Amino acid sequence: MTEFKRGLSKDLTKALNDLALEHGKNWWKEVLANKKLLLAVRGGYLNAYSQGQSIFKVGPGLNDGNPVVSIHYKYLLEPSRPGKEYISFTGKSFVVEPRDVICTNYKTDKTLDRLIDAASYYASEEKKGVHAIALQNKTVVDLEVAFTETGEVGEDARERRIDLAALHKDGEGKAKLVFYEAKRADDPRLRARSNSEAEVVKQVESYDKFLHTSASHLARAYKDVCATLVKLCSSNLRSLDPIIGEVGAETRTLSVDQVARLLVFGFDQDQKFGELFMRHIETLQRCLAGRVVAKGNPASFDLLSDYVRFPPSAPAA
45 within 8 A of 61, measured Cβ to Cβ: no
Residues 278-285 have a mean pLDDT of 88
SS3 93: coil
Asked if the model's pLDDT at residue 65 lies above 70, the reply is: no
Residues in the chain: 317
Task: Let me know: does 305 contact 315? Beta carbons within 8 Å.
Answer: no
Q: Are 123 and 52 in contact (CB under 8 A)?
A: yes
DSSP 105: S
User: What pTM was computed for the model?
Assistant: 0.89
Burial class, 70, CB count within 10 angstroms (exposed 0-12 / middle 13-18 / buried 19+): exposed
Give the DSSP letter of residue 77.
B
Question: Is there a contact between 177 and 219 (Cβ–Cβ < 8 Å)?
Answer: yes
Buried/exposed code over 33-52 (b: 16+ C-beta within 10 A; e: otherwise): ebeebbbbbbbebbbbbbbb
Looking at residues 173-187, what average pLDDT do you find? 96
pLDDT digits (tens, 9 = 90+) for 231-257: 999 998 999 999 999 999 999 999 999
Q: Where are the domains of the chain?
A: 10-306
155 pLDDT band (50/70/90 cuts)? very low
State the pLDDT confidence band at 169, using cuts at 50, 70 and 90. Answer: very high
- The residue-averaged pLDDT of 105-124 equals 92
Tens digit of each residue's pLDDT (9 = 90 or more) over 17-49: 999 999 999 999 999 999 999 999 999 999 999
Q: Phi and psi for 54 in degrees, rounded to 5?
A: -80, 105
Per-residue pLDDT, 309: 59
Closest CA to 247 of 150, 176, 303, 306: 176
Mean pLDDT confidence for 161-166: 96
Whether residue 270 is predicted with pLDDT greater than 70 in this model: the reply is: no
Cβ-in-10-Å burial (0-12, 13-18, 19+) of 225 comes to: buried
Please calculate the CA angle 53-258-296 and round it to the nearest 5 degrees: 50
